[in-house]
Amino acid sequence: MTDRPEPANRRSGERRFAGVKAMVTHDQLGLTKCKLRDISLDGAFIETGTLVLSKNADVDLVLKIRAGDRNRHCRFQATVTRVTAEGAVLEFRHLSESEYRTLFDIVHEE
């Protein structure tokens, strides 16, 4: 029996490993908690637990971002590009300049 090769990393940008709680919204599933494993300027990997997302599904990823002394929620439109036993790979789409700056700050935070 031969080992199967790992799938190629399709996201070319720098990833930041996060391990933070997040939420995903889906037309048929509503708002569901998940865990953000990593994020880049192109997309993210979320651990979905028992939630099953289908490939090519349109979702919103909602993250709680610390802004000074308070929190704010940021919503990013995404498409599910791959589904694994652990979760789903999301590719961001239709990012505004403000959303891109927010992602940039998250990914390149020191």
Give tens-digit pLDDT for 13-37: 666 676 577 899 988 778 899 999 9
Residue 61: what pLDDT?
95
Q: pLDDT digits over 31-53, tens only? A: 899 999 999 999 999 998 888 89
pLDDT at position 15 is 66
Distance CA 63, CA 37 (A): 12
pLDDT single digits (tens) 40-96? 999 999 998 888 899 999 999 999 887 778 888 889 999 999 999 999 999 999 999
Q: Which amino acid is at 15?
A: R
CA triple 77-81-83, angle to 5 deg: 115
For residue 9 the two structure tokens come to: 């990393």
Cβ atoms 92, 106 nearer than 8 A: no
Token digits for 81? Answer: 């590009």
Give domain limits for the chain: 16-107
Fold of the domain built from segment(s) 16-107: Thrombin, subunit H (2.40.10)
- The two structure tokens encoding residue 53: 């997302």
Q: 3-state DSSP call for residue 11?
A: coil
